[in-house]
Amino acid sequence: MVRTPRCEKAGLKKGPWAPEEDQILISYIQKNGHGNWRALPKQAGLLRCGKSCRLRWMNYLSPDIKRGNFTKEEEDNIIHLHEILGNRWSAIAAKLPGRTDNEIKNIWHTHLKKRLKNYQPPQRSKRHSKRINQINSFVHAPSSSQISSSETSVVTSDSKATIDDQIIVKLEEAESSKYFTEINESFWTRELATDNNFNFVATMDGEEFQSLDMFNRSTTIMEDDMDFLFNFFIKAEDFSELPEL
DNA sequence: AACGAACGCAACCGCATGAGA
DNA sequence: CTCTCATGCGGTTGCGTTCGT
């Protein structure tokens, strides 16, 4: 037995929205908000199902939506975030104010996937690359630390340098952990500077974590990396096992 | 100019999840 | 605990537009 979709109830419209319908929806939501999407169309006098109304509002009519073409910076961000998050369009959209998951999904399938065929990761300093390699060796060395425990998470946004199955597994672990949502630029509470480099320190539940990604002061950190300061992180006690450069 | 192919994007569908009864 | 319902999400579809021949 196949359940008939609610939207196919007799009399409910499907397909593209007419300008008059848009206006009715906008006026109604501006006046009453959208407490209950299912009840909304009836109350607003629309011959649409609630799901269709919600989608139209969220993806097109909401004043929060930024219309127009994606900038190069936005496209780069999408590519970067897609490497971390995969096809989790809503999670990617959350990082791009004014853009919807649907829009991002479309731009990915129509533009960015093709662009990626020729995509080259931004060049980092040699010192930075060396550090990344050290981190990988450390992370992958089975006996070097307790880093593989589910509590200790290693997260990277710089997956161009480190992407492999093991890191992805760790990313997924981290994603479900209590820490993941905290790991943005405000996650780091302290800057740890040595010579011309610096990394970041955060304290969570009495435990100290350090960013494993060491930035060179002379690189374009403000442009390239500031939005993605949730690079690597690791318990400080494990960090001490890392060899110095 | 005509026509088919490719593209771009809005909208739909089915499933997952979470809240509340 | 189970069920129902509302909402959110990701994959897919369909149609209008643009491009190439």
State residue A217's pLDDT score: 35
**Confidence class of residue A137 from pLDDT cuts 50, 70 and 90?**
very low
Q: Which positions of chain C lie under 7 Å from any protein Cβ?
A: 5-12, 15
3-state secondary structure of A122: coil
Quick check: A23 pLDDT over 70?
yes
CA at A59, C1' at C7: how many angstroms apart?
15
Q: Which nucleotide is nearest to A114 (CA to C1')?
A: B7
* C-alpha span between A92 and A94 (Å, rounded): 5
A21-A25-A29 Cα angle (round to 5):
170
pLDDT, tens digit, for every residue of A145-203?
322 322 233 333 333 333 333 333 344 344 334 333 334 445 555 655 554 444 556 56
- Residue A93 is predicted with a pLDDT of 85
For residue A34, the SS3 value is: coil
Bridge partners, residue A107, by sequence: none
pTM of the model: 0.56
Q: Which nucleotide is nearest to A5 (CA to C1')?
A: B13
The CA distances from residue A51 to A37, A55, A105, A236, in Å, are 7, 6, 19, 47
**Better-predicted residue by pLDDT, A61 or A67:** A61
Q: Which residues contact A11 (CB under 8 A, 6 or more apart)?
A: A47
